[in-house]
């Protein structure tokens, strides 16, 4: 958990970069996050499922969805994700009910542009679970894999072959490498690349006992025509996110990278994280508190925070977004609307002297050495 020293807010984070994004948030009233004017822009929805949910969790999360529908029913959902471990503690019938309830209250967009995703673990994968996902029209699957045990000992090829048979629009792998060694990591990359995922996310690289530079992984995967986006995502050359990056239309969120127009993400469920406008909120992780609030028609939000207005011209968190999405920092205000303050310029120039950034005509580009120091560079920018 990351605690903001300037406020009493606390958010659960999953990476050092994510902590830097949430770091400048200061407390705000919950209602400040909700727009007073009617907005018609599309939005995303994340439903969070813990490992050991309350027996009434399906009913409770349905109620919370209904509370949000009262405010946002008019907006189109272009991304819906069942996150966490939905197959661990929920029955197939409960997941089916949640999917239909969500589709009934909102207007999700299916087809080639709509993203309907399902997170799962290797222990979840079998014909029944995959048939359930396809039957409920999920078109994206995100498989979390523990890389500590070599792939041949997990019989991973059989599971990946089975996933391939169901022809999801996108299959994504999230590889947790915290407890892996470099040789085992190399084996995993070779096996996963044979199945040509639409995205590979590598978590915990900076926490490995035997450090492996991110630039080394990027170089290895470039041999397969996979490109690094942000701090841990690898996608093939023809992925839509590459085109968005090239157009400057990419944004970084705690849930990954997406198009910049998608500014709002509803987070539903216990301990869920959501984003509305210029701020974030997180639901309580206390089961009884969650049950009480939802049962009495109240949103179970325990923390809400927004970015302060005092740094409107510099906005270091926007520079971090720029650095993560495009691997460069623009120095011309006319291009981005941002002014680089003297402290920020100092960080940029010092990083260039270290070889982390390379100055070009209108920007400083991230170098191979800089890729390995992304968390440190983001932290220095945020402290300005």
> Beta-carbon neighbour count of residue 363 at 10 Å?
19
Distance CA 357, CA 348 (A): 7
Higher local confidence (pLDDT), 49 or 260: 49
290-310 pLDDT tens trace: 999 999 999 999 988 887 764
Question: Based on the domain organization, do 269 and 375 belong to the same domain?
Answer: no
Residue 249 exposed, middle or buried by CB count within 10 Å (0-12, 13-18, 19+): middle
Is 163 inside a domain boundary? yes
Q: Residue 365 maps to which CATH number?
A: 1.10.10.920
Model pLDDT, residue 6:
41
Unique residue bearing structure tokens 């390379």: 358
What's the domain range around 43? 2-306
Closest residue by Cα to residue 178 from 232, 257, 216: 232
Please tell me the predicted confidence (pLDDT) of residue 1. 27
Instruction: Kindly tell me if the per-residue pLDDT of 238 is higher than 70.
Output: yes
User: Per-residue b/e over 12-29, b at no fewer than 16 CB within 10 Å?
Assistant: ebebbbbbbbbbbbbebe
Give yes or no: residues 249 and 344 share one domain. no
pLDDT of 260 > 80? The answer is yes
The answer to the question of residue 204 being in a domain is yes
User: pLDDT grade, residue 140 (50/70/90)?
Assistant: very high
Summarize pLDDT for 170-193 with one digit per residue, the tens.
999 999 999 999 999 999 999 999
For the chain, give the percent of residues with pLDDT over 70: 89
How far apart are the C-alpha atoms of 355 and 351, rounded to whole Å? Answer: 6
Same-domain pairing of 253 and 326: no
**What secondary structure, in 3-state letters, does the chain show?**
CEECCCCCCEECCCCHHHHHHHCCCEECCHHHHCCCCCCCCCEEEEEEECCCCCCCHHHHHHHHHHHHHHHHCCCEEEEEEEEECHHHHCCHHHHHHHHHHHHHHCEECCCCCCEEEEEEEHHHCCHHHHHHHHHCCCCEEEEEEECCCCHHHHCHHHHHHHHHHCCCCEEEEEEECCCCCHHHHHHHHHHHHHCCCCEEEEECHHHCCCCCCHHHHHHHHHCCCEEEECCCEEEECCCHHHHHHHCCCEEEECCEEEECCCCCEEEECCCCEEEECCEEEEECCCHHHHHHHHHCCCCCEEEEEECCCCCCCCCHHHHHHHHHHHCEEECCHHHHCCCCCHHHHHHHHHHHHHCCEEECCCEEEECHHHHCCHHHHHHHHHCC
What confidence tens digit (pLDDT) does each residue in 205-222 have? Answer: 988 888 899 999 999 999
Q: 197: Cβ–Cβ under 8 A, 6 or more apart, which residues?
A: 171, 172, 173
In the predicted structure, residue 73 carries a pLDDT above the cut 90: no
How many domains are there within the chain? 2
Q: Is residue 278 part of a domain?
A: yes
Q: Phi and psi dihedrals of 17, rounded to 5? A: -65, -45
Mean pLDDT over 347-375 rounds to: 93
Would the pLDDT of 311 be above 50? no
Given a cut of 80, whether residue 334 has pLDDT beyond it is no
- Do 34 and 136 lie in one domain? The reply is yes
Residue 111 has pLDDT above 60, yes or no: no
- One domain, residues 164 and 270: yes
Q: Are 118 and 86 in contact (CB under 8 A)?
A: yes
Mean pLDDT of 349-357: 95
- Looking at the structure, tell me whether residues 291 and 364 fall in a common domain: no
Q: Decide: 27 and 305 in contact? Cβ < 8 Å.
A: yes
Asked whether residue 311 is assigned to any structural domain, the reply reads: no
Q: What is the pLDDT of residue 337?
A: 58
pLDDT of residue 13: 66
Q: How far apart are CA 26 and CA 217, in angstroms?
A: 36
- Report residue 7's pLDDT band, with 50, 70 and 90 as the boundaries: very low
CB 101 within 8 A of CB 62: yes
- CA–CA separation, 218 and 213 (whole Å): 9
Residues 78, 80: Cα–Cα separation, whole Å: 7
Q: Check whether residue 49 and residue 9 sit in a common domain.
A: yes
Average per-residue pLDDT for the chain: 88
| pLDDT reported for residue 313 | 41
Question: How much is the average pLDDT of 340-358?
Answer: 91
Whether residue 266 contacts residue 344, with contact meaning beta carbons closer than 8 Å, is answered with no
Average pLDDT over residues 111-118: 81
Last-in-domain residue among 245, 274, 306: 306
Say if residue 332 is exposed, middle or buried (CB neighbours under 10 Å; 0-12, 13-18, 19+): exposed
Q: Are residues 152 and 222 in the same domain?
A: yes
Q: Which residue, of 279, 306, 333, is where some domain finishes?
A: 306
């Amino acid at each position: 958990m990351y605690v903001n020293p300037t406020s009493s807010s606390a958010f659960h984070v999953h990476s050092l970069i994510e902590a830097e994004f949430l770091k400048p948030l200061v407390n705000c009233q919950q209602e400040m996050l909700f727009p007073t004017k009617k907005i018609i822009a599309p939005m995303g929805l994340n439903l969070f499922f813990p490992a050991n949910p309350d027996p009434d969790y399906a009913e409770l999360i349905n109620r919370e969805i209904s509370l949000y529908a009262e405010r946002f029913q008019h907006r189109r959902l272009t991304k819906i994700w069942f996150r966490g471990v939905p197959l661990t503690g929920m029955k197939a019938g409960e997941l089916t009910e949640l999917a239909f309830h969500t589709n009934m209250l909102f207007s999700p967009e299916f087809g080639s542009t709509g993203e309907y995703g399902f997170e799962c673990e290797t222990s979840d994968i079998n014909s029944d679970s995959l048939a359930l996902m396809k039957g409920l029209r999920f078109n994206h699957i995100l498989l979390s894999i523990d890389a500590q045990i070599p792939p041949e000992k997990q019989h991973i090829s059989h599971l990946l072959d089975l996933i391939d048979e169901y022809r999801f629009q996108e299959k994504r792998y999230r590889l947790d490498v915290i407890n892996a060694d470099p040789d085992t990591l190399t084996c995993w990359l070779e096996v996963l690349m044979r199945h040509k995922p639409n995205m590979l996310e590598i978590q915990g690289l900076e926490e490995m006992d035997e450090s492996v530079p991110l630039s080394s992984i990027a170089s290895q995967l470039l041999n397969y025509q996979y490109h690094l986006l942000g701090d841990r995502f690898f996608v093939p050359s023809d992925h839509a996110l590459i085109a968005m990056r090239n157009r400057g239309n990419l944004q970084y969120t705690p849930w990954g990278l997406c198009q910049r127009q998608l500014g709002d993400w509803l987070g539903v469920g216990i301990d869920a994280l959501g984003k509305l406008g210029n701020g974030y909120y997180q639901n309580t992780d206390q089961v009884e508190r969650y049950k009480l609030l939802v049962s009495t028609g109240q949103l179970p939000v325990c923390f809400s925070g927004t970015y302060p207005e005092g740094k409107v011209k510099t906005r270091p968190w926007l520079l971090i977004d720029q650095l993560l999405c495009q691997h460069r920092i623009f120095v011309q205000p006319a291009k981005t609307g941002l002014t680089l303050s003297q402290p920020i310029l100092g960080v940029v120039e010092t990083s260039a002297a270290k070889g982390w950034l390379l100055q070009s005509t209108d920007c400083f580009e991230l170098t191979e050495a800089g890729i390995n120091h992304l968390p440190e560079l983001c932290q220095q920018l945020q402290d300005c």
